[in-house]
Amino acid sequence: MIKYILKCENKHEFESWFSNSAEYEKLRKKNFLECIFCKTLKVKKSIMSPNVISKKIKYQDAKPALEQNKFLKVKKDLIKMREYVEKNFDFVGKNFTKEVKSIYYDKKNKRNIYGTATQEERKELQEEGIELASIPWLKKEN
């Protein structure tokens, strides 16, 4: 089996397997090679230049770093969110459910709070039409 990178007249590139190079030539002459993207029959073998290969390797090497950066960015955002909540919201801890209800039903008692709620408490609040937002609470240090 041999793998070729095929390229169509519209510059689409895709991989295709052949049992050998003669099979590729045969299929090409019979116009059996078709671009998988635009269906044109004007497809030919793309020359794998060292440039293309090295680009590919670089991309693969770079990928874990990209993922890592993405993760760190999300983490940074979550920590920012945590800091924002800590600064602007009152911490009520386990009294959260009770406090949420008092805020919800007493319109004068308007303040931002945060705290913890059990699974049942969340369900209970939901049944009363109170939607909670929960955010992943990340530690600031690693």
Residue 10 contacts Zn ion per CB under 5 A: yes
Distance of CA 36 to the CA centre of its chain: 26
- Judged by CB under 5 A, the stretch of 1-9, 73-81, 113-121, 132-140 that binds Zn ion is 1-9
Q: Quote the least distance from Cβ 40 to Zn ion, whole Å.
A: 5
Q: Quote the least distance from Cβ 50 to Zn ion, whole Å.
A: 24
If residue 91 lies in a helix (H) or strand (E), which one and from where to where? strand 90-93
Q: In the complex with Zn ion, which residue's Cβ is closer, 42 or 80?
A: 42
Environment class of residue 78 by beta-carbon count within 10 Å: exposed (0-12), middle (13-18) or buried (19+)?
middle
Residue from 6, 18, 33, 35 in contact with Zn ion (CB under 5 A): 35
Per DSSP, the three-state class of 29 is helix
97 C-beta neighbours (distance < 10 Å), count: 20
Specify the pairing of strand 90-93 against strand 113-115. parallel
Q: Quote the least distance from Cβ 41 to Zn ion, whole Å.
A: 10
Q: Quote the least distance from Cβ 31 to Zn ion, whole Å.
A: 14
Residue 33 contacts Zn ion per CB under 5 A: no
Residues that bind Zn ion (CB under 5 A): 8, 10, 12, 35, 37-38
